[in-house]
Chains A and B, each alone.
Chain A
Amino acid sequence: MKLIYLDNAATTKVDERIIQKMFPFFTEKYANPATKWTSSLSKEVDFYVEQARADVAHLIGAEPEEIFFTSGGTESDNTALKGIAMANQERGNEIISTKIEHEAVLKPLSTLERMGFVVKFVNVDKYGFVDPDEVKKLISKKTLIISIMHANNEIGTIEPIKEIGKISKENEIYFHTDAVQTVGHIRINVKEMNIDLLSLSAHKFYGPKGVGAIYIRKGTKIKPFMEGGGQENGIRSGSLNTTGIVGLGEAAKIAEKEMDSDDARIKDMRNLLWKKIEGSIPKVFLNGPQMGERLSGNLNFLIEGIRNEPLLVLLNERGIIAGGGSACSAGSKEPSHVLKTIGIRPEDYFSSIRITIGKFNSKDEIDPIVNNLIDCVKKLRELSPFWKGGE
């Protein structure tokens, strides 16, 4: 059975070209770049690490010395929030964010709240959009940092971070954005967008898992989250994950060249898929913004009368891997905080699935996806006491 992978917002398949670049760093160029002054092998590895740093910097319009390698998005988010908070307590104790951030932002924020910081959440509308004017209203003399994601992982809403960056700059507030869903997919320029800190992760754009980076604008006062041997200019201790870093650098280089054409192709496939789903399955409703205003690969929709978990399992049985905003549970488990925040009815929390298209999907997969979806939805609706035949 040929697998159709539709969960590219969760993670992506690694591009073969990236794997090839990584290979030599396991068994040939395996030295630790920290000893570059005494070993030529280390010096060689260091050269490739710095090249990767430059490639990542170039992708987001930063300087190489503003890029620090981490283990991924979660570590970068923790570093940004806790690092700024701990280093700048004299500047203020208020943080502005949204309730639709990833847990990698929300959890550190609640830790900071317990430590005495005050988190103010700016409202989002029913599509998940932040209104920059609402951000402005929450700013006080004590605001230290604004953390708002570039695009939402569940519903694909692309936030107006350029406007928010401008507001942050005017008010001399640090601006952090979790951009794991957008780096390598859409164009970002940290200088033009006035971003002070940005989190990114390799495996969201065809690189390996376990490696990412944080961009920290020059001159930013920050305390390290990981302490130890002082690598990465003391910002992130720990021997460098050189294979991963080389993979991340190659992912950045490929994305720089190919992301615009990939994005256009992904958008076409996504639009066609939604047109066919909407045209053939009654009572399906899009969650989040309209097609033009969301991430190109993202679809998140509600299917009336059924639950997402059995649907995902049925699709999986047919070789189709999709995602759910949150797993279905008969009991008290928390539904998706994103769907809840944008006002989806409680009875519908568990009826939504997420399909995220990536560059390795192809147009000829669309008909099999639609046909299997029609069939599986029909099967589950036949079981459902809530389904009244679409009236």
Chain B
Amino acid sequence: MYPDIIMKHFLNPKNVGKIENPTLLGEFETPSKAKAIFYFKIEDGIIKEIKFQIVGCPYAIAVCSIITELATSEKVENFKEFSKKELEKFFEIPAEKEECINLSINAFLNGISKYKPI
């Protein structure tokens, strides 16, 4: 039904929940009320911690989890251009699930775009 990596992250998503007093938030909501929120803790341009909350389909949930694994301990600036291409290295994206995946990517990028280095 779903690629193994999607199923793995969907069944056991990593970095779920909120961060108290996050450095910044990334959010995205679709017209049909699917919503993803990323909480970032950033120090010296490095994503120290990232967590998420979501109401969305299995793909969207899994992609949030995958993104948090990719981003943890990485530089914010490395993700300015993040797109589905980075995800296509891990699994194929079916056309009908593209919007679900965009929910997670857009919420993540919304957070990244707010980051202003001091």
- Establish whether residues A385 and B53, one from each chain, have CB atoms under 8 Å apart when the complex forms: yes
Given A313-B2, A330-B30, residue A383 in contact with residue B100 (CB < 8 A) = no
- Establish whether residues A329 and B53, one from each chain, have CB atoms under 8 Å apart when the complex forms: no
Chain A, 114-162, CB within 8 A of any chain B CB: none
- Establish whether residues A385 and B57, one from each chain, have CB atoms under 8 Å apart when the complex forms: no
Cα A133 to Cα B34 in complex, Å, equals 40
- Establish whether residues B33 and A347, one from each chain, have CB atoms under 8 Å apart when the complex forms: yes
- Establish whether residues A310 and B34, one from each chain, have CB atoms under 8 Å apart when the complex forms: no
Contact partner, A384, options B13, B53, B57, Cβ 8 Å: B53
Interface string of A272-311 (1 = CB under 8 A from B): 0000000000000000000000000000000001110110
CB proximity of A365 to chain B, nearest CB, Å: 23
* Inter-chain contacts of A347 with B (CB < 8 A): 32-33
CB proximity of B28 to chain A, nearest CB, Å: 9
Q: What total of A-B pairs shows CB separation below 8 Å?
A: 77
Chain B, 31-49, CB within 8 A of any chain A CB: 31-37
Main secondary structure of the interface of B (DSSP, over half): mixed
- Establish whether residues A307 and B57, one from each chain, have CB atoms under 8 Å apart when the complex forms: yes
Cα A307 to Cα B103 in complex, Å, equals 14
Chain A, 361-391, CB within 8 A of any chain B CB: 382-386
Answer yes or no: A328 CB below 8 A from chain B CBs.
yes
Q: How large is the interface on B (under 10, 10 to 19, 20 to 34, 35 or more residues)?
A: 20 to 34
Having A313-B10, A329-B34, A350-B32, one finds 11 other A-B pairs with CB under 8 Å, namely A310-B61, A330-B57, A330-B100, A330-B103, A331-B99, A331-B100, A346-B33, A347-B33, A349-B32, A350-B34, A382-B17
The 7 closest A-B pairs by CB, nearest first: A331-B99, A330-B34, A385-B53, A347-B33, A330-B103, A330-B100, A309-B57
A-B contact pairs, 30 of them (CB 8 A): A307-B34, A307-B55, A307-B56, A307-B57, A313-B1, A313-B2, A313-B58, A314-B11, A316-B1, A329-B32, A330-B30, A330-B34, A330-B100, A331-B99, A331-B100, A332-B31, A332-B32, A333-B32, A346-B32, A346-B33, A349-B32, A350-B32, A350-B33, A350-B34, A382-B17, A383-B53, A383-B61, A384-B54, A385-B36, A386-B55
